[in-house]
Structure 1
Amino acid sequence: MKAKIALVCASLAAGTALAAYAAPAATLNADFSAPKTPVGKNLYGIFFEDINSSADGGIYAEMIQNRSFESKFGTEKWTAVTKTGRAKDRIRVKKADPLNENTPVYGELTAKAADTGIANSGYGGMTFEAGKTYNGSVYLRSPDGSISSVTVYADDGSFKKTVASAKISGITKEWKRFEYQLVSSAETDKGRLVLLADQAGTIDFDVVSLFPAQTYKNEPNGLRTDLAKKLEEMKPGFMRFPGGCVIEGRTLADAYRWKDTIGPVEERKENENFWGYHMSNGLGFYEYFRLCEDLGAEPVPVINCGMTFEGPTQQLVGMADIDEWVQDANDLIEFANGGVTTKWGKLRSDMGHPKPFNMKYLEIGNENLGNNYFTRYREFAEELRDTHPEIKLILGAGYKESGVEFDSAWSQASIMRNLVDLVDEHYYTTPEWFLTNTHRYDEYDRSGAKVYIGEFASQSEGKRNNMYAALSEAAYMTGIERNGDVIELASYAPLFAKDGSTQWIPDMIWFNNTQVYGTPDYYVQKMFMTKKSDRTVKYTLDIASAEKTKSYIGGTVGLGTWSTTAQFKDVKVVDDDTGKTVYDSNAGTIGDFDQQTGSWSQNGKTFVQTSSDVNVRAVLKNPGVNNYTYTLQAQKTGGMEGFLIMFGVNGKSLYWWNMGGWGNNVSCIEKGTADARSVVSDSKQLNLVAGQWYNIRIEVRGETISCYLDGQLMHTVQDIKSFDPVYAHIGETDDGRIIIKIVNIAEKPKDILINLNNAKALPKEGTATVLSGARDTENSFKEPEKIVPVTEIIKGIAPSFTYTAKAGSVTVIELISK
């Protein structure tokens, strides 16, 4: 889409710069004379994982599905046909005398009559455009010498209309590669490729391939142009690849091994994808490095560290056998950066790229946890520090934004200080979390490892790619850019999703076989990537008191256990605003509680829970108050873990103090629902002793939680429930531009007073690129550009001016110094 530009006069209400006037919603004060904070040139990037059919059937332009018959379903997507319909002949999967050892399976058809063969409709029907050229290849042989030629057709899927054809001759008893070309005479999106034997007999097929002649940058074995263009337009600073869970696999046999993805495509080992479908590896590490080069993006590859996906069936490579996997890492660096006289550098050169790819980063493992991971990481890192000290090494911090595993990873990063350059944080959570955590990185240690936010996305209600999700991400990204001195890399995830073939939502870019559109999230990422500052100017954003609203955690309280039996007494809730006692168990019964799970009873004035189940809960039947103190005594009587002391319970939403969690080792506060929660506090060591009574006190005041055990403060959390309407960032670029990013999450326009103190040579006008829309609005295949950025010219720029941000908008103002 071409940029839309409008002239905005000072008299217009929304999206304008006006002379400064009273009562703005927010005041943005910048001091250009103060020291500035650097922002890395590659801060914003992309993460490509083969999820949601992103590669095969997606950006990888191969039109044939299961081209090598290597799918675990054998002849999946292949049909025996004649010129007029389905054939009675059967395609068989054979392994005798294969094309090569890496592709040990091929298809064989014994045709009882001429004009019998095989057909493939690709990924839900092939798209052929009138006048366009398609280049194909296939390995063929006739083991008994009965067939010497085949005719290749492209049709509309109906057996009635052929749109292109070609002839292949010279088939022998030995495997031979044949090329063919099709020029379509008509248009269809339900097409097939058909190969019919011109004689009766037996014929073997392998690596049946068809590509559009026009691929991205006209690369052989190339990429779908429209999808790759979407990436090019973003100008990403880096690209992470190939995963994600794909790198781990569900078994070691399915773990991603980069060496299987390079060399001639007919010699690449294919595999089952973690996400439940077959993976051809046609888009492998060579294609990845080439795409990074075309996009101007730094490669950030991820390798398996000898561990599969976390879970009860996780498989590990024993430490006695880990050397092979460590060597894979060394060899990957050599493939990317080595000279043409090295083993793997020569292979890169033979594939068509003598020049090194200049890889600088390597991530060891993906979302792996615990001591098994840290031990393996150290093994890799110590070796790579010796062999390739120039490579920045990345340690994973799991798959949550906080919690025991997260804290453990950062602790290990400190312990292995000389072996960890970046720590990779992943989080998929609510818009509210993003809005209340824009200052998350303000206090991060600047002397330790840098941060890589490898996967993040806002998941609005229904996990939709709507404007509200995009607004929350944009607000959060003002904090990312402000902390560009400690955050080195950040990437949204997932990148692509194919309509009707998704395993994960939301996603940045949606496509089908003929269309592609960017979501509001896509445009936010694009705006931040293409209009990134090189330095953050020191600034403050002050929200007017009239724009602030009081908010309370409030809610009712509850009792619970996890794999533990326990008893509770002296349960009391006091309203801190009135001093009145809201509840006192000494004057009540266990019937005052909604006993949701577990086995509850009452012994005198003591409440008893005797089930050893996990997630046992009883919630007080009380609407709750805004500010309160919740006290009780609790005793563990048996079991493996400890107490779940609930508060802030509102419907399904809750907080609980997890005391003795994770095998009776940890104390922390969790927030969410009974079925899904995140840790929102620090984690401390706590081992509960059976038979001992513990005095528990929880103070809930406004947005602040304080938890005390036996009079000692254990945790304090401020969980902001109200959101500022406006978020901002001010920076400058090396080429003299001032970049002002403003996010207005309110559903009304907001006036922002902008003071550019000590800025030199300001222009009289600038541009504002604005993405705006109602919170629920989304793009779609029917309306792919319902929400897109619009660029406006704004006048009245001065050292102090007011800009009116549109309702629900992300704005990037660019001022070019005189």
Structure 2
Amino acid sequence: MQKFLSILLLGAALAPRAMLAQEKAVVTIHAQQKGAPVSPVLHGIFFEEISHAGEGGLYAELIQNRGFEEANLPQGTHLEDGFIVPERTPHFMLKPGEASDWKMEWPLHSQWPAWSSEGNISLALTTQQPLNSATPHSLEIKATGAGSLANEGFWGINAVAGHAYNLKFYVRNGSYKGPFTVSLQSADGTVLASREMNIAGKHTWQKYTTTLTPVRNDPAAKFVISFGGKGTLWLDFVSLFPENTFKHRPNGLRADLAQYLADLKPAFIRWPGGCYVEGINIQSAPDWKRTLGPVEQRPGTYSPWGYWSSDGFGYHEYLQYCEDIGAAALYVLNVGVSCEYRSGTYLPDDSLQATIQNALDAIEYAIGPVTSKWGAKRAAAGHPAPFPLKYVEIGNEQHGPRYAKRYNVFYHAIHAHYPQLHLIASMGIGDVNRHTLDSMQHTDIVDEHAYKGAFWSLNHYDHFDKYKRGNWDMYVGEYATNAGVGAGNMAATLSDAVYMMSMEKNSDLVKMCSYAPLLVNVHDVDWPVNLINFDAAHSFARISYYAIQLFNENKPTVNLATQVQRLAPEQPLPAFSGGIGLGTWDTESEYKDITVTQNGQVVYQSNFAQGAGPWEPVRGTWKLEDSAFSQTAQGAQQFAWLKGRSFDTYTLTLKARKKEGTNAFIIPFAVQDSNTYLRAHIGAYVNATSVFESVTHGYDVSSVTDHKPLPAPVEKGRWYNIRLEVKADEVDCYLDDQLLMTYREPPKVFVISGADAQSGDIIIKAVNAGAAPCRTNFKTPGVEVLPTATLISLHTPSDTVENSFAHPTAYTPQHSQIQHASADFNLELAPYSINVLRLHRAAGK
């Protein structure tokens, strides 16, 4: 996954101006016509160390930089003008011998991140007489009087009154004598819990443990060591764990976050990445072997998302968690290639044997017999029985013939030893492609990644219907609606739901899927939309979480033929009512002769010779030049609008001329305010394509349509004629009388159905993504249905609302009973709603 790449992969958009008259639909379910069986492992989860999802999140450790190793630069890099720069070796996807110029900002400005001192102590980082060779640094502390050392945790430590917190740390004492106190404190110094400890006068490393139990709550406490004496000592591996971890496991997981994941009842867990498994360069890529054994001896891994992971949630802990929640393990291995969106460095083809053996060792650790080398190590770690490893993915987001060649080598080696495992092939970002497939000798499962804009799935509901099938199954390893939806509002959930329905009804193809990203610490947001949000003390799941849970818990055994007839509303309102505007993106352009015509009558005409009139600049540098309105600033999202005017079913004509820059023209329409509108973008993607886009919040952009190639790049200095024909539910865009693109308002009501072999129920999933209720007539010819049915509905008052810390469960599924069900009955689907309707069949029917 690549940071904010969704804006480039562009899906569809804002549901522009919804029709407010009641919609109607007729749904006919042919229970005798069975379709594809629904995969029992359709819904899983994907965990990646991104946005402190694990470190400072799922992994329950409360001390940040516990081993004093986080000032280390990642292997194979050096620091240059505030950036970490990898060795400039060839890139896997570029021309032979060509290296990437990628670099990454180094965020640290301290030798001991997350730690701070007060009073009469001085600090130094040292490698003398280390605790162990894997983590060679310790903190030297010289006290000349009273002072303290504090750790901020991960944006605070959640201290809960009456809860026990287990502390462990190591000290090598030189000459220190006097009081030594450990405590949890509030920001103002109020002591929440404390213990005075005796520090032995030995010159060897000693382990110390105690328990801290706060007397009051503080969601943003800090850990403090207070020195009341004088002398020198060395400190290493300071660890503070809540006793109440998930299933009370030592070195365990944060209970609320682990429970969120368990409650999804995932069929599998994909781990450890994502870009994380690739690393920023090949030297710093993660190695599962470094995550085994005592946590004090795990050197840590630098995440491509810009921070160190302690590897406390390592391979063994991952496998144990899978077992704890009844999920299969899906392990992603590195194929000797680092992230292509970063350095893209790689191991030569003739140097892969050690990497292949490392993968085989990982599998042996998980499922090998206790008589094997790595099976014995698993048993020694307390788990003689095999773990539930069932899937192995060979690489992450690699693609093309060169990757396929490596995939073949790994596939043959793994399959020869473990033919029972399901092996997954990467397909890069986007659809499954022949460019990669044609060079693969065997494909069991292929992995498509799909980040889309709002309502892309409504416009592309037949995406999987049209897929050319092969001798492989599909895993949609990463999917999300993450553009044009704020931080994850109901518009995102509606789109996610329709996308999941598309996968379910195409279960002959799609066998597995997992949303991404899964977790985000709100203090470190690397991705625009995430499923579960948290800070040190609180957490909440987005509405999409509950939609996934709802669909997974109501999975039928087999699809049923379902016919949906959408009836036109009696009094539809125009879908694109609103104002008009002008804009640019990294371009200087000018506009003139703007005319709006309705029913053959001119209702607006610009006259810039006499001034800007009602045109109001919002972003950019706008000025009047030669009877034209000119935008002269570079940058994104420059915008001006005809304030106070609104139109529907009209024709907009104007002249436009590009002066400088990389793109060309932007013509906003259906403008609701200065931050919410649709727009025709002519000359997008560096003056190569045309596309309809939506804008929300003034900056959140997603596509309404697919990009269409321009007949020719827009020339500088030439006046072009632009025409938008805005109809009731369709917009056509012309350049010099040539049709460039068309946008049609997508349908809002989607329905699938299936039969549950265990209960006999007919399970109907229905989404109404529109702003109006939909009176729906459900028909099940030839099936006797009991009058009492179950309805589970997830609905909201608008598509812009979200769950939040303040209201974590504001929008969750609600259960009700229907007392009038039959083989032919009506049910009103609420606006902005996701519904599961379970029709119960009469006994023996």
TM over 0.5: yes
Question: Corresponding residue for 2:103?
Answer: none
Aligned partner of 1:777 among 801, 817, 820? 801
Matched, 1:180 2:205: no
Q: Is the 8 A contact 2:723 2:737 kept in 1?
A: no
SS of equivalent residue, structure 2 residue 33: coil
Task: Using the TM superposition, give the Cα deviation of residue 93 of structure 1 relative to its aligned residue in structure 2, in angstroms.
Answer: 0.8
Aligned partner of 1:239 among 269, 289, 305? 269
Aligned partner of 1:97 among 101, 114, 129? 129
Rounded Cα–Cα distance in structure 2 between residues aligned with 1:227 and 1:616 = 37
Query: How far does the alpha carbon of each residue in 1:214-260 deviate from its partner, in whole angstroms, 9 at most, with x for none?
Result: 21012221001111111111212222333334344444454444443
Matched, 1:58 2:57: yes
Matched, 1:808 2:838: no
Aligned partner of 1:379 among 405, 421, 425? 405
Number of matched pairs? 756
Q: CA 1:27/1:135 → structure 2, altered by over 3 Å: closer, same or farther?
A: same
Matched, 1:76 2:107: no
Letter in 1 for 2:329: P
SS of equivalent residue, structure 1 residue 90: strand
Q: CA 1:677/1:248 → structure 2, altered by over 3 Å: closer, same or farther?
A: farther
Task: Using the TM superposition, give the Cα deviation of residue 766 of structure 1 relative to its aligned residue in structure 2, in angstroms.
Answer: 2.7
Q: Is the 8 A contact 1:25 1:547 kept in 2?
A: no
Q: Is the 8 A contact 1:237 1:298 kept in 2?
A: yes
Aligned partner of 2:258 among 225, 228, 231? 228
Q: Is the 8 A contact 1:42 1:298 kept in 2?
A: no
Rounded Cα–Cα distance in structure 2 between residues aligned with 1:316 and 1:698 = 48
Q: Is the 8 A contact 1:35 1:537 kept in 2?
A: yes
Task: Using the TM superposition, give the Cα deviation of residue 351 of structure 1 relative to its aligned residue in structure 2, in angstroms.
Answer: 2.7
Q: CA 1:697/1:156 → structure 2, altered by over 3 Å: closer, same or farther?
A: closer
Q: Is the 8 A contact 2:401 2:435 kept in 1?
A: no
SS of equivalent residue, structure 1 residue 32: strand
SS of equivalent residue, structure 1 residue 454: strand
Matches within 5 A, 1:580-591: none
Moved more, 533-542 or 681-690: 681-690
Letter in 2 for 1:233: D
Aligned partner of 1:275 among 289, 299, 305? 305
Letter in 1 for 2:115: W
Rounded Cα–Cα distance in structure 1 between residues aligned with 2:774 and 2:733 = 38
Rounded Cα–Cα distance in structure 2 between residues aligned with 1:273 and 1:295 = 26
Rounded Cα–Cα distance in structure 2 between residues aligned with 1:492 and 1:253 = 29
Task: Using the TM superposition, give the Cα deviation of residue 66 of structure 1 relative to its aligned residue in structure 2, in angstroms.
Answer: 0.9
Q: CA 1:684/1:213 → structure 2, altered by over 3 Å: closer, same or farther?
A: same
Matched, 1:436 2:440: no
Q: Is the 8 A contact 2:184 2:221 kept in 1?
A: yes
Question: Corresponding residue for 1:588?
Answer: none
Matched, 1:131 2:130: no
Task: Using the TM superposition, give the Cα deviation of residue 458 of structure 1 relative to its aligned residue in structure 2, in angstroms.
Answer: 4.4
Aligned partner of 2:326 among 288, 292, 296? 296
Question: Corresponding residue for 2:563?
Answer: 540
Aligned partner of 1:356 among 346, 370, 387? 387
Question: Corresponding residue for 1:18?
Answer: none
Task: Using the TM superposition, give the Cα deviation of residue 456 of structure 1 relative to its aligned residue in structure 2, in angstroms.
Answer: 0.7
SS of equivalent residue, structure 1 residue 785: coil
Matches within 5 A, 1:790-805: 790-805=814-829
Task: Using the TM superposition, give the Cα deviation of residue 208 of structure 1 relative to its aligned residue in structure 2, in angstroms.
Answer: 1.0
Rounded Cα–Cα distance in structure 1 between residues aligned with 2:594 and 2:440 = 47
Question: Corresponding residue for 1:335?
Answer: 365
Rounded Cα–Cα distance in structure 2 between residues aligned with 1:192 and 1:558 = 51
Rounded Cα–Cα distance in structure 2 between residues aligned with 1:547 and 1:385 = 58
Query: How far does the alpha carbon of each residue in 1:729-748 deviate from its partner, in whole angstroms, 9 at most, with x for none?
Result: 21222312322222233444
SS of equivalent residue, structure 1 residue 546: coil
Matches within 5 A, 1:697-736: 719-720=744-745, 723-724=747-748, 726-736=749-759
Q: Is the 8 A contact 2:27 2:565 kept in 1?
A: yes
Q: Is the 8 A contact 1:133 1:181 kept in 2?
A: no
Letter in 1 for 2:539: V
Q: Is the 8 A contact 2:408 2:441 kept in 1?
A: no
Aligned partner of 1:393 among 407, 415, 424? 424
Q: Is the 8 A contact 1:129 1:187 kept in 2?
A: yes
Gaps of 5+ in 2: 1-21, 72-109, 416-420, 588-592, 606-611, 627-631
Moved more, 435-444 or 332-341: 332-341
Superposed CA RMSD? 5.1
SS of equivalent residue, structure 2 residue 64: coil
Rounded Cα–Cα distance in structure 2 between residues aligned with 1:120 and 1:425 = 39
Task: Using the TM superposition, give the Cα deviation of residue 203 of structure 1 relative to its aligned residue in structure 2, in angstroms.
Answer: 1.7
SS of equivalent residue, structure 2 residue 29: strand
Aligned partner of 1:450 among 474, 489, 493? 474
SS of equivalent residue, structure 2 residue 500: helix
Letter in 2 for 1:224: R
Rounded Cα–Cα distance in structure 1 between residues aligned with 2:334 and 2:725 = 44
Task: Using the TM superposition, give the Cα deviation of residue 123 of structure 1 relative to its aligned residue in structure 2, in angstroms.
Answer: 2.3
Matched, 1:467 2:493: no
Rounded Cα–Cα distance in structure 2 between residues aligned with 1:488 and 1:306 = 28
Rounded Cα–Cα distance in structure 1 between residues aligned with 2:287 and 2:380 = 20
Question: Corresponding residue for 1:205?
Answer: 235
SS of equivalent residue, structure 1 residue 25: strand
Gaps of 5+ in 1: 1-22, 81-85, 399-405, 564-570, 584-590, 603-610
SS of equivalent residue, structure 2 residue 469: coil
SS of equivalent residue, structure 1 residue 316: coil
Rounded Cα–Cα distance in structure 2 between residues aligned with 1:696 and 1:783 = 50
Q: CA 1:271/1:780 → structure 2, altered by over 3 Å: closer, same or farther?
A: same
SS of equivalent residue, structure 2 residue 379: helix
SS of equivalent residue, structure 1 residue 123: coil
SS of equivalent residue, structure 1 residue 490: strand
Aligned partner of 1:153 among 182, 204, 212? 182
Matches within 5 A, 1:649-668: 653-655=678-680
Q: CA 1:644/1:327 → structure 2, altered by over 3 Å: closer, same or farther?
A: farther
State, as a whole percentage, how many aligned pairs show the same letter.
Answer: 25
Q: CA 1:541/1:524 → structure 2, altered by over 3 Å: closer, same or farther?
A: same
Moved more, 613-622 or 258-267: 613-622
Matched, 1:44 2:43: yes
Task: Using the TM superposition, give the Cα deviation of residue 655 of structure 1 relative to its aligned residue in structure 2, in angstroms.
Answer: 4.2
Q: Is the 8 A contact 2:683 2:690 kept in 1?
A: yes
Task: Using the TM superposition, give the Cα deviation of residue 71 of structure 1 relative to its aligned residue in structure 2, in angstroms.
Answer: 1.6
Task: Using the TM superposition, give the Cα deviation of residue 668 of structure 1 relative to its aligned residue in structure 2, in angstroms.
Answer: 7.7
Query: How far does the alpha carbon of each residue in 1:451-491 deviate from its partner, in whole angstroms, 9 at most, with x for none?
Result: 51513124445x13333432333233322322222222223
Query: How far does the alpha carbon of each residue in 1:88-113 deviate from its partner, in whole angstroms, 9 at most, with x for none?
Result: 21121111232233212111112335
Query: How far does the alpha carbon of each residue in 1:311-345 deviate from its partner, in whole angstroms, 9 at most, with x for none?
Result: 5x634225357615555444433333333344444
Task: Using the TM superposition, give the Cα deviation of residue 365 of structure 1 relative to its aligned residue in structure 2, in angstroms.
Answer: 1.9
Q: Is the 8 A contact 1:557 1:649 kept in 2?
A: no
Query: How far does the alpha carbon of each residue in 1:410-460 deviate from its partner, in whole angstroms, 9 at most, with x for none?
Result: 132442354442132221412x33333333222222335525151312444
Q: Is the 8 A contact 2:274 2:396 kept in 1?
A: no
Rounded Cα–Cα distance in structure 2 between residues aligned with 1:108 and 1:35 = 71
SS of equivalent residue, structure 1 residue 35: strand
SS of equivalent residue, structure 1 residue 65: coil
Matched, 1:503 2:533: no
Matched, 1:787 2:829: no
Question: Corresponding residue for 2:608?
Answer: none
